[in-house]
Amino acid sequence: MRRIGAIFTPYSPPEALREAALAAEEAGVPELWLWEDCFRESAFAAASAVLAWTDRLRVGIGVAPMPLRNVALTAMEIATIDRLFPGRLIPGVGHGVLPWMAQVGARAASPLTLMREYVPALRSLLAGDEVNTDGRYVTLDRVRLDWPPAQAPAIVVAGEGPKTVRLTGEVGDGTVLPAGSSPERIARTLAIALEGRAAAGRDAAHQLVVFVAAAFGGDDARAALAEDLERENGSVDPALLIAGDAAGIAEAIEPFYAAGATSVILQPREHEADLVGFMTGVGAVAQLIG
């Protein structure tokens, strides 16, 4: 099943979130994703607000930085939200941007070791298990959640480099790729994640969530997105120039699904002035591909 969604990026202030979330639900957007960028907005607080404001919208966290949060606290946050709004939270974790982690004194000397310890502990806590572990970064002594979710949610894990992506397959339920990932890169990423999954003896399906920058509109929107891509990547890959009307964007993201993405989450431009219009456009795309 192909999933589609939109991102509310933290480049917009928190007070803009309610209007954007209500517009997303009204337009039929299935999922609204939030980031936890330093030093902007708390993902879990924002997720709780969106879920309370809406009735059907699912909320993805893409992603909460592991170094910032003790794993027991992350499990408590996820479990509380899931008990309040069953099945509507899609929790995600990742390394975090390393310079930001250094700014707050939380940068891990070995991010891979942190991920290898953190994600299994998080999944076990959310499953209601009592967890005992004494690792380099994660230490838990007979920790069990009093109020675990009725059904443990899948945990998606951000990864870009081959070692990290392989590890997301080993320990996570899915991999999150940032914007700027071409269909070719998506196919390579999925293959590496599945290698890790096979090595860990896990045979369940693996999610691949891909953020894709998009702009709704005519020539001006396309030119603005091309300018962004040029500035960020030094060139414009035609496969990443996702701009136009809903039908054009629905057609342009088909190669991402064909490459193995299970979820394509459309990301507005950093300076998008019309978030309501963007959410309405994503809703129209969702109807076309649904």
Q: Which residue ranges make up each domain of the chain?
A: 3-289
Q: What is the pLDDT of residues 93-129, one digit of tens each?
A: 999 999 999 999 999 999 999 999 999 999 999 999 9
Residue in 153, 181, 159, 158 with CA at minimum distance from that of residue 237: 181
Q: Where are the alpha helices (DSSP H) in 133-263?
A: 162-171, 183-199, 219-233, 246-252, 254-258
Q: What is the pLDDT of residue 212?
A: 97
Whether the pLDDT of residue 203 is over 90: the answer is no
Region 3-289: CATH code: 3.20.20.30
pLDDT > 70: percent of the chain: 100
32 to 22, 81, 116, 120: CA distances (angstroms) = 10, 15, 28, 26
- Given a contact cutoff of 8 angstroms between Cβ atoms, the answer to whether 83 and 147 are in contact is yes
The pLDDT value recorded for residue 213 is 96
Q: E strands within 45-85? A: 58-61, 64-65
Instruction: From residue 31, give the alpha-carbon distance in Å to each of 43, 215, 266.
Output: 15, 18, 10
Structure tokens at 181: 């990932």
Closest by alpha carbon to 61, among 88, 86, 28?
A: 88
Instruction: Give me the mean pLDDT over the 83-100 stretch.
Output: 96
Residue 222 binned pLDDT confidence (cut-offs 50, 70, 90): very high
Res 1 pLDDT > 80: no
Mean pLDDT (the chain, rounded): 96
Average pLDDT over residues 261-266: 98
pLDDT in tens, 146-201: 999 999 999 999 999 999 999 999 999 999 999 999 999 999 999 999 999 999 99
pTM: 0.96
Q: Can you give the pLDDT at residue 255?
A: 97
Angle at 32 between CA 31 and CA 37, to 5 degrees: 140
